[in-house]
Each structure stands twice: as C-alpha cells, then as structure tokens.
Structure 1
Amino acid sequence: MKKIKLLVVTLLIFICLSGCTPGEASDRNLKRIRVGMTPSEVHHLMGKPDDTENNEYFEFQYWFEGATSIEDAQEKFEEGKAIKYYCVIFFAEDKVTFVVESKEDILSGIWGKY
C-alpha cells in the first residue's frame, strides 16, 4: 500500500513540475508524428508498447475508442464519438502515409481518398 501511495505522489509531483497534464504531453508528442515514420517509432513516441498486431489502425483504436477500420472511424466521428480529431494516422506498408491534422480535413471529405 505504501508503494502505491509513493507512486501516486511521485506522479503528482512530476505532473506539477512539468507544468502539463499527461494528456497535454501526449498531444505534443502526437504533433511530432510525421509521414515516413514506422509504427515502432510512433508507438515509442506515444509511450505505447510496440506489440500492436494491426498497425494500420493503431491510431484509430486510440483516438476513436475502438474503431477498427476507416469506415468505422468515420461513423464514430459522424456520431460525435471521436475524442480527438486533429491528428489521425494512416499506416500502410509499415510507414505513416498520411496525417489528418484538423477537423476541417475530415469534414472536407479526406476520408474518400483512403
């Protein structure tokens, strides 16, 4: 029990000293993802274990609460269930091939291209 309390206190101190919440830190890392990165590089940048079997939809699963395809992600977005939308990653052949950076990109029909 003492170890858990110590861990929580350490985490809170780290958050206070860093000046941002863990979510804000993830948002900053997400903005550093670029076309050409491998899934392993993206996972490392986001602090996730590199054991995702289906890299193509890794970011959809993370940002669209369980979407497993582009169509599924689009449906969730249209239903208002997308929790982040400014940076969605498309993987193909183990490389990042496209980054959607804004809600406007999605609304303007970028989905039809992929």
Structure 2
Amino acid sequence: MRLWKTILAAAVLALAAGSQAFAARTDLVIGIPLEPPHLDPTAGAAAAIKEVLYANVFEGLTRIGPNGEVLPDLAESWTISDDGKVYTFKLHTGVKFHDGA
C-alpha cells in the first residue's frame, strides 16, 4: 500500500511541475488542415484560405479590433449612406490597388 501512495504522490508532483512549465509558454501553434488550392479567395472554400491568404497576403479596408469593434486598416475613414446601401471609403495616402491604380 505504501508503494502505491509513493507512486501516486510522484505522479501528482510530476503533473504539477509540468503544468507550471506549460502555463509559462507564450507561443501559439495553429495547425492548418490543408493548403489553399490557389490564391483567389473567391474561387474556393478551402479551410486554409482565411488563415493563409487573408492574414498574410491581403489587407482589408477595415479590421476587427480586440473587443470586436470595426477599426480602420487601409481605409482612413468611411461614410455610410442614409439607406445603408452605399459605403464610401477614404483610403490612406499611398494606398494602391494590385495593378498600381
């Protein structure tokens, strides 16, 4: 019986020591299940498109802040028509489209 108590105590101590080391880590690793088949986000529904393309290739007019608010990104400001159907964005100075326009 004493052997089992010793083994149990050792296991509890090992788990406690491991959890402290795990809690001290600050990195986050995200696995992506598959690669996007192409770089056109409108032509496919691969699970990796959002993570790979939107986060690393494209920049948006706006972005979502840490509290869920809409913040400017490429757009400096924007207005919305009274009927909510027309959005007009003012881009930051120097922002260009992929074709240079």
Please, what TM-score do these two structures have when normalized by structure 1? 0.26
Larger Rg: 2
Which structure's residues are more often helix, by fraction?
A: 1
Q: RCO higher in 1 or 2 (8 Å CA, sep ≥ 6)? A: 1
